[in-house]
């Protein structure tokens, strides 16, 4: 979302559906941001550049976690 930070966007996505699985994609590997986002409900984080197989595995993990709920 333009004009907002990543964590604000995460909260905005999870507010209407707290069970939503959210994956952030970023060109920056910001450890502090990742840990804070996980505390706020982030499911996974992918750093660019990534291989298509990595994204496919991450999305598969999201689906599996949703089914297991």
Q: pTM here?
A: 0.77
Longest dimension (CA), the chain: 35
In the predicted model, is pLDDT for residue 3 greater than 80?
Answer: no
**Across 33-57, average pLDDT:** 92
The residue ranking higher by pLDDT, 26 or 5, is 26
What does the CA dihedral 6, 38, 57, 69 come to, rounded to 10 degrees?
-120
pLDDT at 43: 92
DSSP state of 15: T
pLDDT attached to residue 1: 47
Examine the pLDDT at 19 and tell me if it is beyond 80. Answer: yes
Domains of the chain and any CATH numbers: 6-68 (3.40.50.2300)
């Amino acid at each position: 979302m333009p004009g907002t930070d990543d964590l604000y966007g995460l909260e905005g996505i999870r507010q209407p559906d707290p069970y939503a699985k959210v994956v952030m994609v970023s060109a920056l590997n910001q450890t502090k941001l990742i840990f804070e986002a996980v505390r706020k409900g982030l499911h996974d984080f992918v750093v660019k550049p990534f291989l298509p197989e990595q994204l496919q595995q991450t999305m598969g993990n999201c689906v599996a976690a949703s089914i297991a709920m």
